[in-house]
A and B are shown apart, each in its own frame.
Chain A
Amino acid sequence: EVQLVESGGGLVQPGRSLRLSCAASGFTFDDYAMHWVRQAPGKGLEWVSGISWNSGSIGYADSVKGRFTISRDNAKNSLYLQMNSLRAEDTALYYCAKAHSGWYIPNWFDPWGQGTLVTVSS
């Protein structure tokens, strides 16, 4: 069974940094692209970032470009999101999601983890 377990969320002040992790199991991690998607409280889904199987192709939403960095460690079956210069509008539940193939695009997401909550507030 595919399992994705996010961690690293919490309360952080505006302007500070946070690093999210996603531990994957139940599939061959380095065969698949991975993505981060967030959902602000009571709002819809927003794609944040994606990375191909070999980290050779990476993309970001305009809202996080230059502040967030996605990475992966295939030896550890783990996905990461380094979030710098955090803003109040980054407050959200952050999901990691497995892509259908190893390429960053085109791709859909299945399954999703349970999410980790990031709250940016002073």
Chain B
Amino acid sequence: DIQMTQSPSSLSASVGDRVTITCRASQGISNYLAWYQQKPGKVPKLLIYAASTLQSGVPSRFSGSGSGTDFTLTISSLQPEDVATYYCQKYNSALLTFGGGTKVEIK
């Protein structure tokens, strides 16, 4: 089975900072990767699919990149409403595995 490893598991940054979250697949998955945001007590929300395609309605400060085994989610200018846990998910094969999550807080 392909494992998805996110890092860091948590981070604290200031408003306006650039934040980068990484997701590594144990084997190549092309660009079959999605990113989700889950705010505290809320339902997960799709941010990005196909590694870099922004879902409609998602602020442009979010971006995704990568292919193969290494992927990143970047928030160009962190906002208070971005406090959440972020998950990557691979969807190239029968087991649609999520990463362990990255909790983002405001410093």
> Which residues on A are within 8 Å of B, measured CB to CB?
35, 37, 44-47, 50, 59, 61-62, 95, 100, 104-115
Known contacts A45-B87, A45-B101: A105-B44 contact under CB 8 Å = no
A-B residue pairs in contact (CB < 8 Å), sample of 28: A37-B44, A37-B98, A44-B85, A44-B98, A45-B36, A45-B38, A45-B87, A45-B98, A46-B98, A47-B89, A47-B98, A59-B96, A62-B1, A100-B49, A104-B94, A105-B93, A105-B96, A106-B91, A106-B92, A107-B91, A107-B96, A108-B46, A108-B49, A109-B89, A111-B46, A112-B44, A112-B45, A114-B43
A114 to B97, CA, bound (A): 20
Q: Across the interface, name the chain A residue whose C-beta is closest to B97.
A: A47
A111 to B89, CA, bound (A): 15
Interface size class of B (residues with CB under 8 A): 20 to 34
Per-residue CB proximity of B82-104 to A under 8 Å, as 1/0? 00010101011111111111000
Question: Do the beta carbons of A108 and B43 come within 8 Å of each other?
Answer: no
